[in-house]
Structure 1
Amino acid sequence: MAAPFPLLIDLPAHVARYHVERNLPFTPELSRFFTYSWRYLPNLGVDLSVAFLSQWMNVETAARLVAATIPPIGAAGMLWLGYRLHGRITATTLLSLPLNYAYPLIFGFVNSCLAVSLSFVVCAGWLTLEQRGRTRWSAVLLAVAAPVIITAHMIGYGVMGLMIAGVAAGQAIRRGHPALEVLKTVALKALPLSWPLILLLFWRNDQTGTAGRWFDFALDARWLLMILRERHNAFDIASAGLLYGAALLPLLVRHRFASDLRALVPAILLWICVFLMPSQIVGSEFAAVRLIAPALALSLLAVRESKPLPRWVWGAAFAFVLLRLIVSTVTFVDVSQKADRELALLDRVRSGSRVVAIWLTDCRRDWEPPRYSHLGAFATVRRNALVNGHFMSSGQQLMALVPNADDALTAAPSMISAEPCERLGQKDSAADIVRRLPWRHIDYLWLIDIGDLPLPLPIAARQIATTGQSRLLRVDPDVSIKPQE
């Protein structure tokens, strides 16, 4: 909450969708460009939360509030689950907390992150009831929570299912049950989770059967390395290495540490999914990477101390968590303040305009995430504008374009490099991309971090405002739009 706005990579495009949902019925400028149709999707956690809160506040504030609650919810679930497993908060339980700021959240996958955070709370509550012998109430909890989490995001629902099944299996194995009895126990305990699958019958998705990038272990290895990626690569990689090392303590230091099967079994199930799931599934990109953080968190929660550890170890774990939180907060504040300065240019944009926003990045893979790649979506939020870079894939989003609403404009890339870049799928130079922009359909061109890069702008494009390395240009429809060489 310290930052002006939590600039998660994809979040601005999501906030634009929330804005359209809230304001479309009484905003003619939006109705020129967009349609919005509520229907069931297993991807609505933050959408529904913002729709509810925006009755009392604007969508930016509502989205900021909901996004800010995701890490605390996940942290509460991890601490609670760790306490129920071990009877106290262990050092490795503390070490799981930075995973609530893992790269899926930085990427802006807010629906799936919310669903995964809630799944930890539900699992901890379920285990609490099970330990107290209130098995009927534990089944009721799962039956009530399941439709909530599957609606929030299907990946969170899958994580919750694997957690409940894994905890039940680990508990049965600990008690010495034979394999068939373990399977029977798992089936009975997980049964209350199954009924919301009926909701998927109402999900119309053209990409339901699609999946891509199977068994890309090189990509998986990169994601493992980048799980805490924020800004400082040495610190982020070392932090990830510390967590992986702590999770392996039962193997590395067997005389001091053991594994609690109630957390280890679901962790193993999730790790199997990390490496066997495709990167793209049913329209969701980076599906496997979203499972790394909960898998690693459960691996840490599984670590049980065979002998009491010195207090300084617990203190060191607390200091590490605090340091990660401070660094994350400073980074959020810095990038959000820069975004605020960029967004000041939108004060010069006429409401209901057509805007192309392009962020210039380096073709080299920087450690710093591409935080500003969807910043242009705020043109919709603050100026009711049509802008490129929205998410409107068939079957995956509730917002769509009206027929023939400047498709060429919305297809323009929101992130480019100066020269052709294979990593970005960019075959042409920035100059060629700008030259081919649909100038007759553009009212404003917003060049973010463009610096002094020479571009073939038409005479009709007149610079009206600058900030830092960015420029805002007004395109005059009455002047020649032929690009200058």
Structure 2
Amino acid sequence: MMRARWWESRWFALAAILLAAVPLLLPTFPPLADLPGHVGRYHIAQAIDGSPDLARHWRFEWALIGNLGVDLLVHALAPLLGVEGATRLIVTLIPPLFVAGLILVTRATGLPLSPAAGFAFPLAYCFPFQFGFVNFMLSVALALHALALWIWLGRTGRVVLRTFLLIPVSCVLWLAHSSGWGLFGLLAFASEVQLLRSTGTSWSAAAVRATLRCVPLALPVAAMLGSGTAGEPPSWDFTAKLAWIASLLRERWKLYDVASAIVVASVLWMAIRDRRVRFDPVIGASAAIAFVAYLLLPRLALGGAYVDMRIVGPATALALVAVRVRPGSERFERGLAIAAAAFLLMRTLTSTVAMLLVAQPQQRALEVVEAIPRGAAVLVLVNEPCSSQWSTRRLGHIAGIAIARRDLFTNDQWTLAGQQALDHRHPGAAPYTSDPSQLVYPAQCEYRTTEFATAIRDFDRSTFTHVWTLDFPARRRLAPDVRLIWSNGVSALYAVDGAPTRLPGGAAPQ
């Protein structure tokens, strides 16, 4: 009788799911780069009908767009938990949901958990999650659960039932985020081809039948055709694709994070080269098609950025849980499982520390919020490092929290038609009305948006009552009519002459 293997046990699976939440439990708020900006939008959606200040600054109209996953959940929970509390709960649950999805995909194939699974689970904190792409990551986590259901029902011969169940599920995935829905369609197709091949179906017949079975999942295309999404033409950057692989676990410490990515890549290379190891064909096919999508997708498309970068983390995670050790190599298999578990614990610990360190400057920056008059219009300027800098203080969208607390207008929100239900009411403030006009990059950076002196000279004084700078040295005056009223070393708040001022907590330099 074979001795039970601990990495295949339920307690290990449960421990991995619970560990996925740990890095986000200690910070007051999940310190993800874009997330504070999303909070501003969530608050506007929740409170605009009862806030004359918000109504004066913003327009918000719910629309059928494929980018509403966390928005809808926060809207439902905010009456009970508040917008920030609801956001914190939902975002903290995304990594455990992602890990649980990987486990269920494995279970759906009828196999135990891979000994390499511990290398996959830290990818719940892959770079898109660190970036704050929470709608996308929620959709991907749900897509893994949908894939598990797809494989299990297909493997047990309940194809008709699967079709009826997965049509509404695919619509929910699209509503959460269209990229997660698109990824699910690819994963479902690849897994179906392999399921059909296991019954003796030829490659060509399997591809045709899998295509026909996946067609019902395309129902959301009808909504996309009428969305009128704006944006620049698709743009590819194949050099960046190599950088995204190195950034697979990008968090805070470049040498450590790149070394972790190399470890993950080495495990996959070993699985390709070592005769003791193979890939499960069903999960492996899903991972393979996701990698192909990563190589083919553009960097920019339909107004969205980093389209390709988002895919590499989930693709890698699926490839890792597809790793299998052939019979007769039990000692090697145990060693692989121990190494994977050690990697999981190490990344969990360092992610927890990294999140706490990132949260500190964010909370320091938010000390200014009580000094901003309710309903003010604030020009936000953030000293943003070059994108090539590995670690940042993640202050680019911190003003979204101020919107949620003070009903402000700021220039850091996303207002792209077809991508967001939000728009502003200050056309005269252009070009300082929306993201990325708040970002001020150093002159040597490869990407430039706003120039600080130009913004201070040209911003619309009839719209903006205040200027909020982050990570710039505080000055008595930015212009003859823009004077300092509050600073603490991270944030500095300036009033435009004639605007109300308050001085709680911080102090202007003497």
Q: Which residue is 2:367 aligned to?
A: 344
Give deviations 1:140-166, integer Å, cap 9, x for gaps.
331231110011111101111111111
Say which SS state the counterpart of residue 249 (structure 2) adopts: coil
1:450 aligns with 2:472: yes
How many Å separate the matches in 2 of 1:7 and 1:330? 12
Structure 1 length-normalised TM? 0.91
CA deviation vs aligned residue, 1:184-209 (integer Å, no higher than 9, x gap): 331243233133333334423234xx
CA distance in 2, matches of 1:380, 1:3: 20
Contact 1:446 1:471 in 2 (8 A): yes
Question: Distance between the aligned counterparts of 1:108 and 1:282, measured in 2?
Answer: 19
Distance 2:153 2:61 in 1: 40
What is the deviation of 1:72? Answer: 0.9
Q: How does 1:181-260 map to 2 (within 5 A)?
A: 181-207=205-231, 210-214=232-236, 216-254=237-275, 256-260=276-280
Give, in whole Å, the separation in 2 of the partners of 1:321 and 1:287.
27
Q: Structure 2: any 5+ residue segments left out of the alignment?
A: 1-24, 501-510
Q: Which amino acid aligns with 1:293?
A: G
Corresponding position of 1:168 = 192
Distance 1:203 1:339 in 2: 35
> Letter of the aligned partner of 2:137 in structure 1?
C
4+ residue stretches of structure 1 with deviation over 4 A? none
What is the aligned partner in structure 1 of residue 337 from structure 2? 314
Contact 2:439 2:449 in 1 (8 A): no
Q: How far did 1:432 drift?
A: 4.1
Q: Which of 399, 419, 425 is the equivalent residue of 2:422?
A: 399
Matched, 1:5 2:29: yes
Greater Cα offset, 34-43 or 296-305? 296-305
User: Of 73, 81, 101, which aligns to 1:57?
Assistant: 81
Distance 1:386 1:135, change over 3 A: same
In structure 2, how many angstroms separate the alpha carbons of the residues matched to 1:443 and 1:203? 35
CA deviation after TM superposition for structure 1 residue 65, in Å: 1.4
Among candidates 164, 178, 187, match of residue 154 of structure 1: 178
CA distance in 1, matches of 2:308, 2:499: 50
Residue of structure 1 in register with 2:458 after alignment: 436
Which shifted more, 125-134 or 342-351? Answer: 125-134
Please report how far the alpha carbon of residue 409 of structure 1 lies from its aligned counterpart in structure 2 after TM superposition: 4.0
1:35 touches 1:400 (CA, 8 Å); kept in 2? Answer: yes
Which residue of the other structure, out of 46, 51, 60, is the alignment partner of 2:70?
46
Residue identity (%): 28
* Aligned residue in 2 for 1:385: 408
Distance (whole Å) between structure 1 residues aligned to residue 304 and residue 388 of structure 2 = 22
1:303 partnered with 2:323: yes
Report SS of the residue matched to 2:30: coil
Matched to 2:185, the amino acid is G
Q: Tell me the SS of whatever aligns to 1:355.
A: strand
* Counterpart contact for 1:416–1:424, Cα < 8 Å: no
The letter for the 1-side match of 2:302 is V
Distance apart, 1:431 and its partner CA: 3.5
How many aligned residue pairs are there?
472
Deviation digits for residues 445-465 of structure 1, max 9, x if unmatched? 21211136x696124333222
Structure 1 unaligned segments of length 5 or more: list them. 480-485
Change (3 A) 1:427 1:382: closer
Contact 1:149 1:157 in 2 (8 A): yes
Alignment of structure 1 residues 277-296 onto 2, 5 Å:
277-296=297-316
Name 1:274's counterpart in structure 2: 294
CA-to-partner distance for each residue in 1:320-339, whole Å, 9 max, x for gaps?
Answer: 11211121122112222321
1:22 aligns with 2:22: no
Equivalent position amino acid for 1:458 in 2: A
Task: Please identify, of 131-140 and 50-59, the stretch whose mean Cα deviation from structure 2 is larger.
Answer: 131-140
Q: 1:170 touches 1:264 (CA, 8 Å); kept in 2?
A: no
Q: CA deviation at 1:303?
A: 1.4
TM-score, normalising length: structure 2:
0.87
